[in-house]
Chains A and B, each alone.
Chain A
């Protein structure tokens, strides 16, 4: 188990390294740097001014040096005025060092957001908190419903209930967030007026049923059908197992069979599915946050990408890649833990 974890962690680090290198390469493409320079300098800056801004702030240093600086394996250098030789911090709004210093991701410094003019941590922290809240409620709504639907339709395969629930599950997996969001908003906000079509007020701490239901339900719907289908398949498999037949032959009631014998074994597979669903929900969270104007991680990612905010975008990708890898690991380890027949090695 120990060596398994060590190997997996090593693999994760390697993956992170490769992916951040890829992102770093893409955000530092010439057109993207130009976009950054244009947004950071005054209007109508000439090409020369753009170039000198990039030069001054160290964007013209060799690619690998800058990647190493960002990682924290190369000292971060301050801006040095060529005329006076005086060293000043690169970005005044976040305490960048005024003297050469190792200060990168490894040291816990995620850099400065050029768009929001704050340190990345200050921006990302609250955003992650907001999105965590959204995800929490999504899970609270989605998982119980999906499991119940899956178990009920899987315990009697082919029955009318099963068919109806299956079609409903397929329908929800065919409804991406930007579709269900639109349809639900039109019904519940425009026509009925029961719910708020914007979650902007939820960001300021005024979380209520009125402003938070639509975003939560919108994200939940897309994943719900998928989890329900997987639970159904798992339940069908368990219900056709030998020990269920034995229980039936012993004369146990159907309810007792389902609750005592089938349910626990049938819920092992959905656990994996739910874990692997997290990264998938990420896209949904981005869409929903943009659609309902909720200031969370997704909105931050969109802003960072739209403005080529290099440090913020890199931090966002670290967070999301870490989420993907961590959920994969938890699902593997958890599966082995829940199902003693499986061993990790």
Chain B
């Protein structure tokens, strides 16, 4: 069998990733040209950490978007003679190289890492958004009304926070639980929350403009119903997305694990902001409680929330990896990074390459998010 030299591997990988480099060049070119007009984003790009963070995050974003174009082999197909081959081995049949070698089931590690990006970059941000909407819609009233509402909601949040995450995953993400109505009930509640949140947002904000209100409510209901059907019942009326029950289960577990943390942040931000003058002014005007929470307090809490969301997507990625590492929820063939690490770690002493690539991928993506969050925090503190 023929092999590429280390130099050739680097060059070939670089060439193979050309759509990513091209997109990165376009994005950063545009952001340098228009940095004056981009506000916070422009400042973040100008700082060294922000630039590095954005570079890493966008790299994986574009790798996920152009995945099918980048990978040389299908992430699930097996070519028997390529089993455990070292990086750069050339498949004699097609003449194409396994750039990062082959794993124990003779699959292309390079293609699998890229395909893993697709899985991670879809689930992690969406699950974070779900947790964010649940955290916001419970944290705002807890902080604003205080007293009994706060006591009950805080107790529930602390209950989940006191639960070790790993135990939660073992109990909640198992094939057995899919036979029970628990994941679907939880999903129903979780996905109903954002719909209600947006509904209340528009009702309280556009009370005086009935046409605008009707338009926005109709849109909310449509998008909400589509998401609800797709995720909770796995019956996308347009057939765009397929969400299997086990994927849904992962969504729910991850959202449940990070929801209470977001709740606590939103609650403490609300406690702080509700004493400001503009909130008092709104109260004097006789605005409704939900108007004040959603249109006065929430926009002014956005800075810390954006930073937290960035950190949390990274944390969710780590949780997803842990799920994969313990073989929970993900299908056994799945090319997500955690499952890849799990599959190759028993043979690490002999074949190191199938474990190293997904490990570095995971690390660089989370590092990018954390650097980005740090840069945003620095820049927003500056002014």
The answer to whether B367 and A182 have CB atoms under 8 Å apart is: no
Closest Cβ of chain B to A214, distance in Å, is 11
Given contacts A29-B176, A190-B349, A197-B348, contact A179 B359 (CB under 8 A): yes
Most chain B Cβ neighbours within 10 Å, of A15, A176, A197, A279: A176
Tell me which residues across on chain B come within 8 A of A301, comparing CB atoms: 166-167, 170
**B367 nearest in chain A by CB position:** A174
B366: interface (CB < 8 Å): yes
Given contacts A178-B321, A186-B348, A197-B348, contact A15 B367 (CB under 8 A): no
Tell which of A29, A174, A305, A320 touches B363, judged by Cβ atoms closer than 8 Å.
A174
Interface-forming stretch among A58-66, A253-261, A282-290?
Answer: A282-290
The answer to whether A282 and B355 have CB atoms under 8 Å apart is: no
A203: interface (CB < 8 Å): no
The answer to whether A18 and B374 have CB atoms under 8 Å apart is: no
Closest Cβ of chain A to B221, distance in Å, is 33
Closest Cβ of chain B to A325, distance in Å, is 6
In this complex, how many residues of chain A approach chain B with their Cβ under 8 Å: the count is 51
The answer to whether A283 and B366 have CB atoms under 8 Å apart is: no
B322: interface (CB < 8 Å): yes
The answer to whether B356 and A324 have CB atoms under 8 Å apart is: no
Most chain B Cβ neighbours within 10 Å, of A282, A286, A302: A286
Interface-forming stretch among B96-104, B125-133, B156-164, B233-241?
Answer: B156-164
B362: interface (CB < 8 Å): yes
In this complex, how many residues of chain B approach chain A with their Cβ under 8 Å: the count is 47
> Which residues of A, 104-152, contact B by the 8 Å Cβ criterion?
none
B121: interface (CB < 8 Å): no
Q: What separation, in Å, do the CA atoms of A74 and B361 have in the docked complex?
A: 53
> Which residues of A, 275-296, contact B by the 8 Å Cβ criterion?
279, 282-283, 286-287, 290-291
> Which residues of A, 299-344, contact B by the 8 Å Cβ criterion?
301-302, 305-306, 316-317, 320-321, 324-325, 328
Q: What separation, in Å, do the CA atoms of A22 and B182 have in the docked complex?
A: 12
The 0/1 profile, CB within 8 Å of A marked 1, for residues 103-140 of chain B is 00000000000000000000000000000000000000
Tell me which residues across on chain A come within 8 A of B341, comparing CB atoms: 178-179, 182
Tell me which residues across on chain B come within 8 A of A190, comparing CB atoms: 348-350, 352
Tell which of A15, A167, A178, A185 touches B158, judged by Cβ atoms closer than 8 Å.
A15
> Which residues of B, 143-184, contact A by the 8 Å Cβ criterion?
155, 158-159, 161-167, 170-172, 174-177, 179-180, 182
Given contacts A31-B177, A35-B176, A279-B164, contact A178 B348 (CB under 8 A): no
The answer to whether A321 and B162 have CB atoms under 8 Å apart is: yes
Tell me which residues across on chain A come within 8 A of B352, comparing CB atoms: 186, 190-191
Tell me which residues across on chain B come within 8 A of A19, comparing CB atoms: 159, 162-163
A26: interface (CB < 8 Å): yes
A23: interface (CB < 8 Å): yes
B28: interface (CB < 8 Å): no
Given contacts A178-B325, A190-B352, A287-B325, contact A26 B166 (CB under 8 A): no
The 0/1 profile, CB within 8 Å of B marked 1, for residues 17-34 of chain A is 011001100110111101
Tell me which residues across on chain B come within 8 A of A34, comparing CB atoms: 176
Given contacts A26-B172, A32-B176, contact A282 B338 (CB under 8 A): no
Given contacts A23-B171, A176-B321, A189-B349, contact A324 B164 (CB under 8 A): yes
A183: interface (CB < 8 Å): yes
> Which residues of B, 342-363, contact A by the 8 Å Cβ criterion?
342, 345, 348-350, 352, 355-356, 359-360, 362-363
B200: interface (CB < 8 Å): no
B50: interface (CB < 8 Å): no
B195: interface (CB < 8 Å): no
* A/B pair count, beta carbons within 8 Å: 135
Tell me which residues across on chain B come within 8 A of A31, comparing CB atoms: 174-177, 179-180
The answer to whether B348 and A182 have CB atoms under 8 Å apart is: yes
B198: interface (CB < 8 Å): no
> Which residues of A, 157-184, contact B by the 8 Å Cβ criterion?
166-167, 170-171, 173-176, 178-179, 181-183
B227: interface (CB < 8 Å): no
Closest Cβ of chain B to A141, distance in Å, is 20
Tell which of B155, B180, B359, B369 touches A29, judged by Cβ atoms closer than 8 Å.
B180
Tell me which residues across on chain B come within 8 A of A174, comparing CB atoms: 314, 363, 366-367, 369-370
Closest Cβ of chain B to A16, distance in Å, is 9
The answer to whether B164 and A283 have CB atoms under 8 Å apart is: yes
Closest Cβ of chain A to B44, distance in Å, is 15
> Which residues of B, 79-98, contact A by the 8 Å Cβ criterion?
none
Q: What separation, in Å, do the CA atoms of A167 and B163 have in the docked complex?
A: 31
Tell me which residues across on chain B come within 8 A of A305, comparing CB atoms: 167, 170-171
Tell me which residues across on chain A come within 8 A of B262, comparing CB atoms: none
The answer to whether A170 and B363 have CB atoms under 8 Å apart is: no
Q: What separation, in Å, do the CA atoms of A181 and B325 have in the docked complex?
A: 12
B326: interface (CB < 8 Å): yes
Q: What separation, in Å, do the CA atoms of A167 and B49 have in the docked complex?
A: 8
Tell which of B167, B174, B359 touches A182, judged by Cβ atoms closer than 8 Å.
B359
Closest Cβ of chain B to A30, distance in Å, is 7
**B56 nearest in chain A by CB position:** A174
Tell which of B326, B345, B362 touches A302, judged by Cβ atoms closer than 8 Å.
B326
B193: interface (CB < 8 Å): no
The answer to whether B321 and A170 have CB atoms under 8 Å apart is: no
B225: interface (CB < 8 Å): no
The answer to whether A182 and B345 have CB atoms under 8 Å apart is: yes
Tell me which residues across on chain B come within 8 A of A18, comparing CB atoms: 159
Tell me which residues across on chain B come within 8 A of A306, comparing CB atoms: 170
Closest Cβ of chain A to B310, distance in Å, is 12
Closest Cβ of chain B to A212, distance in Å, is 18
Q: What separation, in Å, do the CA atoms of A35 and B367 have in the docked complex?
A: 40
- Given A31-B176, A186-B355, A189-B348, 4 more contacts at CB 8 Å? A19-B162, A23-B171, A320-B167, A325-B162
Interfacial residues, chain B to chain A (CB-CB below 8 A): 49, 155, 158-159, 161-167, 170-172, 174-177, 179-180, 182, 314, 318, 321-322, 325-326, 338, 341-342, 345, 348-350, 352, 355-356, 359-360, 362-363, 366-367, 369-371, 374
10 tightest CB-CB pairs across the interface, nearest first? Answer: A31-B176, A305-B170, A174-B367, A174-B366, A320-B164, A186-B352, A26-B171, A179-B359, A176-B318, A182-B359
A–B pairs, 8, beta carbons within 8 Å = A19-B163, A26-B172, A32-B176, A176-B366, A178-B325, A186-B356, A286-B166, A316-B167
